[in-house]
A and B are shown apart, each in its own frame.
Chain A
């Protein structure tokens, strides 16, 4: 079985969000970058569990510049077998999905995992687009994935509940919490990752359909109004008269 896990580099969840160049670029100064948590904790770790229990080769792909290599090495240290970096800084989801689909078409995977979204762009787009470009079934926001031969049983979230679906491989799945538990790479993994193959591939021609023209920060909150614990009636009054939410 061959599994492809799509990896994205994102700022750490606690990073300060600020912009430069007239609010057109994310300010990377002092920011620590990590593997997008949904890609790592859920997609990658579940792929590694399948490798350990059923036997599989786990490939990693990221679409990004040379600055993404530390996070790819970390994904290799966790147990990925080989990695591909498509060398482009493009941010458009269709362009990125086209690169991943092109790679997957050549390699032929049984399973393609992505995170449910990245924590920076929050696009939730790549999995569905890759599935469409490859004409594969797609299951989004999966919380549990089991495999019996070539039949996958997947639990996914829906509004106010969950559903269980069955699908025959190959399939594209976007992953969220519940799929697997976070792992920390061991020293052996980190050493091994140094020599694992990381191929740098030039992008294929594809359309860019969106561009970010600028970023903005939300207006600052006016500040919290404190109310005495002995006067909850005051809170009810404020919520009704001032905030007008009850």
Chain B
């Protein structure tokens, strides 16, 4: 018996959201009195795989097949289902990131397993198997009881603080039969912004809105972000007018982020924007309009001109370091 955790990788590195999922899965395994087994698909270093033990996995199944470096949902589902059979897994845990969202529902349907995505609590097994999830775009939570024997859970990123240990996992090769014909969706190109903190994994996010007036002023946001080791993001109008790429847009129609600290500069805080950031632990709002609705959702606020306040803030942070 076991809990299987799908540990997503990119370029051979296990993603931070996967560490969170592994740690979550290990705690579920502890609750159920079974073992936690991580499953990694695609090329990855042995050291990376063993390090999943730091987050509670006792065993890692590794399918070292370069065809699996990018996600193909049909193939991944087949492999994960085979691992579930082999390990007699009752629970399968995914990070609720892009790859997890692509694969988890397929696996759930294959296994006839009840599926909860965006989980923000460990299961409460006192009365069934109840997992709390974020609903209404972060404006509420639902307690969902999974009634099927097998269960699939997608863990909300940046929700559970990592508590690494020195433990190492034992790595076992796993080689289910897969043929080229199984790959129905073929990746023809991948474009990633290299060298930056991925927005959805960032612990600090600095975000700019229309109050910055134009793309020539974006340096203000970048310098503040740089001083904090933060990722940068933007509001919808900024993405729509093409100052910044769409993959930096947070809000209802963009990305959802849950950093420890979200700093909003020149963003009024429309309800659609809040839907993308209301899971942030601490929100700082800098806006020259004291009536900006964002102040109501903020923890700290400064009413002032971004062009004066932000450089001073950047300098103050640099000084502290």
Q: Which residues of A are in contact with B by a Cβ distance under 8 Å?
A: 11, 13-14, 17, 19, 37-38, 92-94, 97, 116, 119-129, 131-133, 137-141, 143, 153, 156-168, 171, 176-178, 207-218, 221-222, 224-229, 232-233, 235-236, 238-240, 243, 245-246
Are B191 and A161 in contact, CB atoms less than 8 angstroms apart?
A: yes
Interface assignment of B142: CB less than 8 Å from any CB of chain A: yes
6 more A-B contacts (CB under 8 A) besides A126-B105, A164-B190? A120-B135, A137-B184, A207-B112, A221-B298, A225-B301, A235-B302
Are A157 and B302 in contact, CB atoms less than 8 angstroms apart?
A: no
Our pick among B118, B187, B192, B320 for the contact of A165 (Cβ within 8 Å) is: B187
18 contacts between A and B (CB under 8 A): A17-B136, A123-B118, A128-B109, A129-B115, A131-B73, A132-B106, A158-B10, A159-B192, A161-B193, A164-B188, A165-B188, A167-B186, A176-B253, A210-B147, A216-B132, A225-B299, A232-B309, A246-B320
Are B191 and A166 in contact, CB atoms less than 8 angstroms apart?
A: no
Are A159 and B200 in contact, CB atoms less than 8 angstroms apart?
A: yes
Are B247 and A161 in contact, CB atoms less than 8 angstroms apart?
A: yes
Across-interface contacts of A129 in B (CB, < 8 A): 105-106, 108-109, 115
Q: Is the interface of A mostly helix, strand, loop or mixed?
A: mixed
Across-interface contacts of A11 in B (CB, < 8 A): 136
Are A224 and B296 in contact, CB atoms less than 8 angstroms apart?
A: yes
| A136 CA to B118 CA, complexed, in Å | 25
Are B261 and A245 in contact, CB atoms less than 8 angstroms apart?
A: yes
Our pick among A222, A236, A245 for the contact of B313 (Cβ within 8 Å) is: A236
Across-interface contacts of A216 in B (CB, < 8 A): 132, 140-141, 143
In the complex formed, the residue of A with least CB distance to B197 is: A160
| A246 CA to B200 CA, complexed, in Å | 18
In the complex formed, the residue of B with least CB distance to A225 is: B300
Pick the interface stretch among B26-34, B45-53, B173-181, B280-288. Answer: B280-288
Interface assignment of B220: CB less than 8 Å from any CB of chain A: no
Chain B nearest Cβ from A33, distance in angstroms: 13
| A31 CA to B216 CA, complexed, in Å | 41
Contact-residue bracket for chain B: 35 or more
Interface assignment of B58: CB less than 8 Å from any CB of chain A: no
Are A243 and B201 in contact, CB atoms less than 8 angstroms apart?
A: no
Interface assignment of B116: CB less than 8 Å from any CB of chain A: yes
Pick the interface stretch among B60-68, B93-101, B163-171. Answer: B93-101
In the complex formed, the residue of A with least CB distance to B203 is: A245
Are B114 and A210 in contact, CB atoms less than 8 angstroms apart?
A: yes
Chain A nearest Cβ from B97, distance in angstroms: 6
Are B189 and A164 in contact, CB atoms less than 8 angstroms apart?
A: yes
Are A239 and B114 in contact, CB atoms less than 8 angstroms apart?
A: no
Known: A161-B190, A243-B299. A17 touches B145 (CB 8 A): no
In the complex, chain B residues 95-140 whose Cβ is within 8 Å of any chain A Cβ: 96-99, 101-110, 112-118, 128, 130, 132-140
Across-interface contacts of A141 in B (CB, < 8 A): 98, 101-102
Are A246 and B261 in contact, CB atoms less than 8 angstroms apart?
A: yes
Across-interface contacts of A213 in B (CB, < 8 A): 128, 130, 143-145
> 0/1 per residue, B17-47, Cβ < 8 Å to A?
0000000000000000000000000000000
| A177 CA to B136 CA, complexed, in Å | 18
Interface assignment of B271: CB less than 8 Å from any CB of chain A: yes
Our pick among A122, A168, A214, A245 for the contact of B118 (Cβ within 8 Å) is: A122
| A56 CA to B4 CA, complexed, in Å | 42
Our pick among A167, A210, A217, A236 for the contact of B317 (Cβ within 8 Å) is: A236
Across-interface contacts of B14 in A (CB, < 8 A): none
Across-interface contacts of A235 in B (CB, < 8 A): 284, 300, 302, 313, 316
